[in-house]
Chain A
Amino acid sequence: MEWIVPFVLTVITASTPLLLAATGELITEKSGVLNLGVEGMMLVGAIAGFAVTASTGSATVGILAAVLAGAMMSLIFAFLTLTLMANQVATGLALTIFGVGFSALVGSGFVGFAIDPLPALAIPGISAIPIIGPILFGQDFLVYLSIAVVIGVGWFLAKSRAGLVLKAVGDSHHSAHAIGYSVIKIRYLATMFGGAMAGLGGAYLSLSYTPMWAENMTAGRGWIALALVVFATWRPGRLVAGAYMFGLISVMQLHAQGAGIHVPSQFMSMLPYLATVIVLVIISSDRAKIRLNAPACIGQAFRAAQ
Chain B
Amino acid sequence: MVRLEPRRQHSQAMVYLSPVLAILMTLVVGGIIFAFMGKNPFDALYTFFILPINNSYGISELFVKATPLVIIGVGLAMGFRANVWNIGAEGQLTMGAIFGGGLALYFHDSESILLMPAMFVLGALGGAFWGAIPALLRTRFNANEILTSLMLTYVATLFLSFLVHGPWRNPEGFNFPESRPFPDAGLLPIIFEGSRVHLGTAVAVLVVIAGWLLLSKSVIGFQLRVVGKAPQAARHVGFRQKRMVWFTLLLGGALAGLAGLFEVAGPIGQLQPSISPGYGFTAIIVAFLGRLHPVGILFGGLIMALTYLGGELAQITLGLPNAVTGLFQGILLFFLLACDVLTKYRIRFGSIAAKGRTA
Question: How far, in Å, is B283 (CB) from chain A's closest CB?
Answer: 11
Bound state CA distance, A102 and B161, in angstroms?
26
A273 to B158, CA, bound (A): 11
Decide: A36 and B154 in contact? CB cutoff 8 A: no
A105 to B85, CA, bound (A): 28
Question: Residues of B within 8 Å of A, CB-based: how many?
Answer: 48
Residue contact B148 to A280, C-beta cutoff 8 Å: yes
Task: Indicate which residue in B161, B285, B324 contacts A266 across the interface (CB closer than 8 Å).
Answer: B161
**Nearest A-chain residue to B166, judged by Cβ:** A264
Residues of A97-156 whose CB lies within 8 A of B: 97-105, 107-108
Instruction: Report the separation of the CA atoms of residues A107 and B166 in the bound assembly, to the nearest whole angstrom.
Output: 32
A101-B158 Cα distance, complex, nearest whole Å: 22
Instruction: Find out whether the CB atom of B321 lies under 8 angstroms from the CB atom of A104.
Output: yes
Q: Summarize A's interface: helix, strand, loop or mixed.
A: helix
- Check A270 against B158 for contact (C-beta < 8 Å): yes
Stretch at the interface among B53-61, B116-124, B203-211, B331-339: B331-339
Q: Is the CB of B321 within 8 A of A285?
A: no
Among B105-113, B137-145, B186-194, the one that faces the other chain is B137-145
Cβ–Cβ contact A285 & B142, under 8 A: yes
Does the CB pair A101–B333 fall under 8 Å? no
A227–B340 contact, CB under 8 A?
no
Is the pair A86, B165 in contact by a Cβ cutoff of 8 Å?
no
Does B23 reach chain A (CB closer than 8 Å)?
no
Whether the pair B154, A101 counts as a contact (CB closer than 8 A) is: no
Stretch of A25-33, A88-96, A182-190 on the interface side? A88-96
Hey, which chain A residues are within 8 Å of B333, CB to CB?
A: 90, 93-94, 97-98
Kindly list chain A residues whose C-beta atoms are within 8 Å of the C-beta of B168: none
Minimum distance in angstroms from A303 CB to a CB of chain B = 8
0/1 interface trace, chain A 271-306, chain B, CB 8 Å (1 if under): 001101100110011010010000000000001001
Could you tell me the distance in whole angstroms from the C-beta of A36 to the nearest C-beta in chain B?
Answer: 7
Task: Determine whether the beta carbon of B329 is less than 8 Å from that of A89.
Answer: no
Q: Given A89-B146, A104-B326 in contact, is the A285-B340 Cβ separation under 8 Å?
A: no
Chain A residue nearest to B33 (CB atoms) is A105
- Verify A80–B337 contact, CB threshold 8 A: yes
Q: How far does the alpha carbon of A107 sit from the alpha carbon of B333 in the complex, in Å?
A: 22
Q: Is the CB of B327 within 8 A of A36?
A: no
CB pair B329–A101 under 8 Å, yes or no, is: yes
* In-complex Cβ contact of B147 among A102, A223, A264, A269 (8 A): A223
Shortest CB–CB separation between residue B39 and chain A, in angstroms?
A: 13
Q: How far is the CA of A285 from the CA of B87 in the complex (A)?
A: 21
In the complex with contacts A90-B288, A101-B323, A266-B161, A80-B148 CB distance below 8 A: no
In the assembled complex, which residues on chain A have CB atoms less than 8 Å from the CB atom of B321?
104-105, 108
Complexed CA–CA distance, A95 and B329 (Å):
11
Interface presence of A18 (CB below 8 A) = no
Q: Are A101 and B327 in contact (CB under 8 A)?
A: yes
Q: Once the chains are docked, how many angstroms separate the CA of A287 from the CA of B285?
A: 32
A110 to chain B, nearest CB (A): 11
| Residue of B with least CB distance to A89 | B85
Contact present for B146 and A102 (CB under 8 Å): no
B316 to chain A, nearest CB (A): 15
B 143-175 binary contact with A (CB < 8 Å = 1; else 0): 110111011101100110110011000000000
Query: B335-359: which have CB < 8 Å to A?
Result: 337-338, 340-341, 344-345, 352
- With beta carbons under 8 angstroms apart, the residue of A100, A220, A303 that contacts B154 is A220
A residues in contact with B144, CB < 8 Å: 230, 280, 284
- Check A267 for interface membership: any CB of B closer than 8 A: yes
Q: Which residue of A lies closest to B151 (CB)?
A: A273
In the complex, chain B residues whose CB is within 8 Å of the CB of A104: 321-323, 326-327
Residue of B143, B165, B324, B338 ringed by the most chain A CB atoms within 10 A: B143
User: Using Cβ atoms and an 8 Å threshold, which residues of chain B touch A285?
Assistant: 140-143
A105 touches B337 (CB 8 A): no
Query: In whole angstroms, what is the CA distance A86 to B161 when docked?
Result: 37
In the complex, chain A residues whose CB is within 8 Å of the CB of B327: 98, 101-102, 104-105
CA distance A89 to B143 in the complex (A): 16
Q: A97-B285, A220-B150 are in contact. Are A86 and B338 (CB under 8 A)?
A: yes
CB–CB B337/A274 < 8 A = no
| B interface list, Cβ under 8 A from A | 4, 6, 85, 87, 137, 140-144, 146-148, 150-152, 154-155, 158-159, 161-162, 165-166, 281, 284-285, 288, 321-331, 333-334, 337-338, 340-341, 344-345, 352
24 contacting pairs across A/B (C-beta < 8 A): A76-B334, A85-B341, A85-B344, A86-B337, A87-B337, A94-B285, A100-B330, A101-B327, A101-B329, A104-B321, A105-B321, A107-B323, A223-B147, A223-B151, A230-B144, A264-B166, A276-B151, A277-B151, A280-B137, A281-B141, A284-B142, A284-B143, A287-B142, A290-B142
Q: Which residues of A contact B (CB under 8 A)?
A: 36, 40, 76, 80, 84-87, 89-91, 93-95, 97-105, 107-108, 215, 219-220, 223-224, 226-227, 230, 264, 266-267, 269-270, 273-274, 276-277, 280-281, 284-285, 287, 290, 303, 306
